[in-house]
Amino acid sequence: MGKKLVFLDIDGTLVDKLETIHPSTIKALELARKNGHRLFISSGRYKGIVPRCLAPLHIDDGVFAAGANVFCGGEVIFNSTFEPGAYDRIIDVLIKHRAMIVAETLESEMLFGENWRSEFEGMKQWILSLGGSFVRRAPKGLSTVGKFVYKSADCSNEQLRSELADICNVITLSYPDSSTGGEIMQPGVNKSVGIQKVLEYYGADISDTIAVGDGANDIEMLEFCAVGAAMGNASEIVKAHADIVTDRIENDGLYKAFELCGLI
């Protein structure tokens, strides 16, 4: 078997909802590397909030902010952001619908306090602990935001999608969460776009790619890569876009996916 480029989602794939990495997952990653395969992150998170438990594994490069920025060789090779006018309109709509708003840039995460409620205190402290910031009023005209996460809007994702369809994509949250909310991405920017940038950087071919994921923002990469593997804890919608379906994360899902893909 030839050496593969393996693109890995984080939440629900590499780590569980408690940001814990299972021993079988660590073993799978180590064995795949030993066999000469290259491992990359492909996450909706921006690079600064990759879980600390992944640091010893040194998977530093890949696709972040759901394709908005890409790191290869320790350097930024791609960074895409919303135009200021689109940013302002998204902020205005989210404020109108009383959503908690998180804006992701290349280097940080900002929680905007326009609709601040005490239920968000845990999220606020988590963001601050990772070097992010809490901003009472959302600034106007930013040109550095690549992606948004929102929670607890007073309307459905479908309503927001209809109001913003011409300037962004609105999807459901791609990680386990008890609150309502979603992610807002730039049109035409997704994980498959980021993966293509990685392939161009390394002169690699799409036929040598494998993707593993479980969330709504993984659909494009599961379809794009030569082999797309959905975790057992993925929704049925996500599974429908995969070539293979493995077990749930808590049942050694990633290890079994690597076995199914012939990586180990």
End position of a domain, from candidates 129, 153, 185? 185
- Average pLDDT of span 128-144: 93
10 Å CB burial of residue 162 (0-12, 13-18, 19+) is exposed
Nearest to 61 by CA among 195, 235, 152, 225: 195
Q: What is the pLDDT of residues 212-241, one digit of tens each?
A: 999 999 999 999 999 999 999 999 999 999
Beta strands in the chain (DSSP E): 5-8, 38-42, 62-64, 69-72, 75-79, 100-105, 109-112, 133-135, 145-151, 169-172, 181-185, 209-213, 227-230, 244-245
SS3 125: helix
Number of domains in the chain: 2
Asked if 89 and 218 sit in the same domain, the reply is: no
Contact indicator for 146, 186 with CB cutoff of 8 Å? yes
Distance from the Cα of residue 43 to its chain's centroid:
3
Residues in the chain: 264
Backbone angles phi, psi at 7, to 5 degrees: -105, 125
Asked if 234 and 180 sit in the same domain, the reply is: no
Q: What is the pLDDT of residues 44-61, one digit of tens each?
A: 998 888 888 999 999 999
Range of the domain at 130: 84-185
How far apart are alpha carbons 3 and 167 in whole angstroms? 39
Asked if 118 and 180 sit in the same domain, the reply is: yes
Asked if 56 and 123 sit in the same domain, the reply is: no
Asked if 68 and 193 sit in the same domain, the reply is: yes
Asked if 95 and 177 sit in the same domain, the reply is: yes
Asked if 104 and 171 sit in the same domain, the reply is: yes
| CATH code at position 100 | 3.30.1240.10
Asked if 181 and 196 sit in the same domain, the reply is: no
Strand partners, 6: 39, 210
Asked if 91 and 179 sit in the same domain, the reply is: yes
Mean pLDDT (the chain, rounded): 94
End position of a domain, from candidates 150, 165, 185? 185
Which two tokens mark 59?
A: 């998977």
How far apart are alpha carbons 186 and 169 in whole angstroms? 6
How far apart are alpha carbons 113 and 127 in whole angstroms? 13
Asked if 167 and 215 sit in the same domain, the reply is: no
Which two tokens mark 155?
A: 């309307």
- Average pLDDT of span 63-88: 96
Q: What's the pLDDT band for 1 if we cut at 50, 70, 90?
A: low
Characterize the bridge pairing of strands 169-172 and 145-151.
Answer: unpaired
Asked if 55 and 88 sit in the same domain, the reply is: no
Provide the pLDDT for residue 254. Answer: 98
Provide the pLDDT for residue 174. Answer: 72
How far apart are alpha carbons 38 and 30 in whole angstroms? 11
Q: Structure pTM?
A: 0.90
Least confident of 138-142, 162-166, 171-175, 184-188: 171-175
Provide the pLDDT for residue 126. Answer: 86
Which two tokens mark 101?
A: 């708003």
How far apart are alpha carbons 165 and 100 in whole angstroms? 20
